[in-house]
Structure 1
């Protein structure tokens, strides 16, 4: 009797040889070709791995750059806030009640009135330079909201000097306060005959004809100024 046709020379390392007989040798050859032949249309495993790690490195680099920029922006903001902090505060207790421990504070050498603090810089500057100076201290040029506020500030000003306040005209006599407070014509303190010139677009407070009032002047003039900021509450 003829012995079975067993292919003992086919070395399938990735698949164990079945203990049964193989009846058709042609069915085994495609398996051998499929295991050892790579498809030229697709990248091999090492190339795909290289591309994956390259893409990962690029994404990591982008993420690090974004984080570094965010950290830089945060550090800059922190430094800016630090520059605005005042080292010394003068505080008063708004309410004498023991239960209410809210204190209202102004930076040292600033004058308190109502809910704001006021300061007169020593230098002379244009309107925009004066506003920039106030801004560097966390404040802005003074906004006058009432007769009481006007009277308060004039008591601490030198009647021989003029002071910029936060009122200006961007054009067509549309007066605007620097903090966007609406301009209320019923609460204005112009000197008689003022404002007088369309080319004078910034406002000072000065003493004239035995009283304090407002006068429009060129924004480039050098004057003193009054800075204003909200009180700090503790």
Structure 2
């Protein structure tokens, strides 16, 4: 209601134009906020990913790659929004995996993984073993794929990152390891159906490899 001086009296409704402007301002603010967040995420993912990581120093993996693929799946208990792996790597749970296209011996395979800020894969669960076994079946055709399990002495298996060898979480083929002289490294034997498809093999043989690194959370 208008008073004699042309002002809206207390308790009366604001004009429709004023209400419309209020809602318009709210929508403008929301759109601006969403656009700002999207721009920040894009900047983190493609331009300065190392700077957005929870650590003060970028990981070795982050220092090696500039192109990343991310999704919104994050570990419980984190306040971040994206889980990222280098482009072309495959993610499972909290790790990124690289399946090589070329072949190298065991020592060269380990060195190649280290040079990318990763390591030969350490398999710690049946779920991980089954995931990787399925990945090895993807093109190109692979027969044997190095993993990070080896023995300095016969029967004394150890992982490349010093994770204790757990016989209850080992996935050897039937009759393996057979401890044939010189067979001190481990491969996934792709033609054998998972999960039990590990085979001991000589370290000088050239095979494909799987590298593993922790996924980056931003």
Is contact 1:93–1:101 with CA below 8 Å preserved after alignment?
no
Residues in 1 aligned to 2:74 and 2:210: alpha-carbon distance in whole angstroms: 28
In structure 2, the gaps of 5 or more residues are: 1-56
Residues in 2 aligned to 1:231 and 1:207: alpha-carbon distance in whole angstroms: 25
Match of 1:75 in 2: none
Matched, 1:147 2:126: yes
Residues in 1 aligned to 2:165 and 2:74: alpha-carbon distance in whole angstroms: 32
Is contact 2:68–2:85 with CA below 8 Å preserved after alignment?
yes
Deviations 1:36-63 (A, max 9, x none): xxxxxxxxxxxxxxxxxxxxxxxxxxxx
Matched, 1:204 2:187: yes
- CA shift in 2, pair 1:107/1:82, >3 Å: closer
Residues in 2 aligned to 1:83 and 1:146: alpha-carbon distance in whole angstroms: 26
Residues in 2 aligned to 1:189 and 1:96: alpha-carbon distance in whole angstroms: 27
Deviations 1:117-165 (A, max 9, x none): 0011211110010011111100011111000001111111137521000
- CA shift in 2, pair 1:220/1:182, >3 Å: same
Is contact 2:61–2:118 with CA below 8 Å preserved after alignment?
no
TM-score norm. by structure 1 comes to: 0.60
Name the SS of the counterpart of 2:130 in structure 1. Answer: helix
Larger radius of gyration: 1
User: What's the RMSD between the two structures over aligned residues?
Assistant: 2.7
Which structure's relative contact order is higher, taking Cα pairs within 8 Å and 6+ residues apart?
A: 2
- CA shift in 2, pair 1:147/1:85, >3 Å: same
Matched, 1:133 2:112: yes
In structure 1, the gaps of 5 or more residues are: 1-77
Deviates more, 1:162-171 or 1:83-92: 83-92
Q: Out of 149, 164, 180, which is 1:167 matched to?
A: 149
- The aligned length equals 155
